Chains A and B, each alone.
Chain A
Amino acid sequence: MGRRTPLYDQHTAAGARTVDFGGWDMPVDYGSQIEEHHAVRRDAGMFDVSHMCAVDLRGNGARALLLRLLANDVGRLTAPGKALYSCMLRPDGGVIDDLIACYLDEKWFRVVVNAGTADKDLAWIREHAKQIGVAVVARRDLAMIAVQGPQARARTGPLLPAACRQAASALGIFFGAPCDEWFVSRTGYTGEDGYEIALPAEEAPAFWQALQSAGVRPCGLGARDTLRLEAGMNLYGSDMDETVSPLESGLAWTVVLEGNRDFVGKEALVAQKAAGVARKLTGLLLLERGVLRSHQKVLAGAAGEGEITSGTFSPTLERSIGLARLPAAAAGQVEVDIRGRRLPARIVKPPFVRNGRALIEL
Chain B
Amino acid sequence: MSQIPADLRYTKSHEWVRTLPDGSVEIGITDHAQHSLGDMVFVEVPEAGRKLAAGDACAVVESVKAASDVYSPVAGEVIAGNAELATRPELINQDPYGQGWIMRLKPAAAGAGGLLDATAYAAEVAAAG
Chain A residues within CB distance 8 Å of chain B: 28-29, 32-34, 222, 226, 289-291, 293, 312-313, 315, 320, 339
Contacts and interface: CB of A to CB of B under 8 A. Distances in A.
Contacts of B42: 289-291, 313, 320
25 contacts: A28-B65, A29-B38, A32-B38, A32-B39, A33-B39, A33-B64, A34-B39, A222-B38, A222-B64, A222-B65, A226-B64, A289-B42, A291-B41, A291-B42, A291-B62, A291-B67, A293-B66, A312-B64, A313-B41, A313-B42, A315-B64, A320-B41, A320-B42, A339-B60, A339-B67
A315 to B, nearest CB: 8
Contacts of A290: 42, 62
Contacts of B64: 33-34, 222, 226, 312-313, 315
Q: Is the interface of B mostly helix, strand, loop or mixed?
A: mixed
Contacts of B120: none
Contacts of A339: 60, 67
Nearest to A313: B41
Task: With a 10 A CB-CB cut-off, give which of A29, A34, A320 has the most chain B CB atoms.
Answer: A34
B73 to A, nearest CB: 22
Interface string B10-43: 0000000000000000000000000000110110
Contacts of B48: none
Interface of B: 38-39, 41-42, 60, 62, 64-67, 86
B107 to A, nearest CB: 27
Interface residues of A: mostly helix, strand, loop or mixed?
mixed
Given A290-B62, A293-B67, 13 more contacts: A32-B38, A33-B38, A34-B64, A222-B38, A290-B42, A291-B42, A291-B62, A291-B67, A293-B66, A313-B41, A313-B42, A320-B42, A339-B67
A317 to B, nearest CB: 12
Contacts of B39: 32-34
Contacts of B38: 29, 32-33, 222
Contacts of A313: 41-42, 62, 64
Contacts of A291: 41-42, 62, 67
| 9 nearest CB pairs, A to B | A313-B41, A34-B39, A33-B64, A291-B62, A291-B42, A33-B39, A313-B64, A33-B38, A32-B39
A313 to B, nearest CB: 4
A35 B41 CA distance: 13
Contacts of B62: 290-291, 313
A286 to B, nearest CB: 10
A78 B22 CA distance: 78
A267 B59 CA distance: 52
A290 B67 CA distance: 10
Contacts of B41: 291, 313, 320
- Which of the listed residues B38, B39, B86 has the most CB atoms from chain A within 10 Å of its own CB? B39
B33 to A, nearest CB: 14
Contacts of B66: 293
A33 B86 CA distance: 20
A226 B62 CA distance: 15
Contacts of B65: 28, 33, 222
A339 B42 CA distance: 14
A105 B69 CA distance: 56
